[in-house]
Homo-oligomer: A and B are copies of this chain.
Amino acid sequence: MSWIQGGGLENNIILSSRIRLARNINDTPFPPMLDKKKGADLIESIYNEETQKHMFGGYKFYAMQETSGTDRAVLVERHLISPNLAARDSIGAVLIDRDEVVSIMLNEEDHIRIQALLPGLQVKEALQIANNIDDMLESKVEYAYDERLGYLTSCPTNVGTGIRASVMVHLPGLSLIGNINNILHAVSQVGLTIRGIHGEGTEVLGNVFQISNQITLGRSEEEIVESLIGITKQIIDKEKEARTTLMNSYRMKLEDKIWRSWGIMSNARVISTQESMKLLSDIRLGVDLGVLKNIPIQVLNEIMVEINNASLQKQSAAELNSTELDIIRAETIRAKLA
């Protein structure tokens, strides 16, 4: 089930859990050094007549060079490919399963990047899914693997397990109470990284943070995942405490903030992504606290994805300028909330 549909544990705080495994094929140059022919051969070795039938029946295949810029950007906005893959015009490709849980990027920074993305706190479940795909692929190709180092990767930070485990967390309580910087600092002290919603180098929008492991070498996949889950649970507790404090000590102010954000969100005619994310954060908090009723989490997740520029652009034949995007964004939100 796609993370957008909601579900999983602690899904009032944890939007999604993600596992990404980096793998490369033995005796083949890493993608940055790979020419077009060899890139195509690599894809063929994984996605071919036989695997289409027996392995990737329910999958969609996108070769980046045959996919429009807008469609690629939409895949980024849905967290199904990385911005990096979207930019790899000549040799990049991706396989995405029907439910948008699994995506297998080919010729990104590494030959193969397996991603499993689930709603709520389901890091272990995501690891299980990713491992199954990994085993399946390993039966078809020979991985670049070193007995001492583990999986070899294009960038040294991924060497070892090649795993990145991450959770997307929504922390409006800690942000409002002013404790968010302490938390972010504590997280970075234990070898985890905090990023914005679209990963590395992206802005934090609407109090949504991505927390992921930094270290891939010298620890087992299970240890990495356990450590992330442990810290995440502590953050969940802190966030819940913050929400309780807010409701106990600033209830009316908080309810006012939530209702105003709802009022603006459901009435604005022109709105930026930044502002939408800010208001959406208040609304999501309001739904969790029971202040706002009858708004399914799925609707909030859909808005979070569909307010992005490429998803909006896809609704229109003509190229939209920034004001036109702001207008269609407002229309899209109103339609979703109606």
Contact = CB atoms under 8 A, between A and B. Distances in A.
A251 to B, nearest CB: 10
A262 B266 CA distance: 10
Contacts of A262: 263, 267
B269 A255 contact: yes
B267 A259 contact: yes
Contacts of A264: 260, 263-264
A134 to B, nearest CB: 49
A252 B271 CA distance: 11
A263 B267 contact: yes
Interface in A246-263: 252-253, 255-256, 259-260, 262-263
Contact of A252 (B253, B256, B259, B270): B270
Which residue among A255, A256, A323, A330 has the maximum number of chain B CB atoms within 10 Å of its CB?
A256
Nearest to A327: B252
A129 interface: no
A305 interface: no
A230 B282 CA distance: 50
A265 B259 CA distance: 10
A268 interface: yes
Contacts of A260: 263-264, 267-268
A254 B91 CA distance: 47
Contacts of A253: 270
> For the complex formed by this chain, how many copies does it contain in all?
2
Interface string A59-92: 0000000000000000000000000000000000
Interface in A310-333: 323, 327, 330
A253 B269 CA distance: 8
A167 to B, nearest CB: 32
Contacts of A269: 252, 255-256, 259
Nearest to A262: B267
A172 to B, nearest CB: 17
A266 to B, nearest CB: 6
Contacts of A271: 256
A253 B330 CA distance: 12
Nearest to A269: B256
27 contacts: A252-B269, A252-B270, A252-B323, A252-B327, A253-B270, A255-B269, A256-B268, A256-B269, A256-B270, A256-B271, A256-B330, A259-B267, A259-B268, A259-B269, A260-B263, A260-B264, A260-B267, A260-B268, A262-B263, A262-B267, A263-B263, A263-B264, A263-B265, A263-B266, A263-B267, A263-B268, A264-B264
Given A256-B269, A263-B266, A263-B268, 14 more contacts: A252-B270, A252-B323, A255-B269, A256-B268, A256-B270, A256-B330, A259-B267, A259-B268, A260-B264, A260-B268, A262-B267, A263-B263, A263-B264, A264-B264
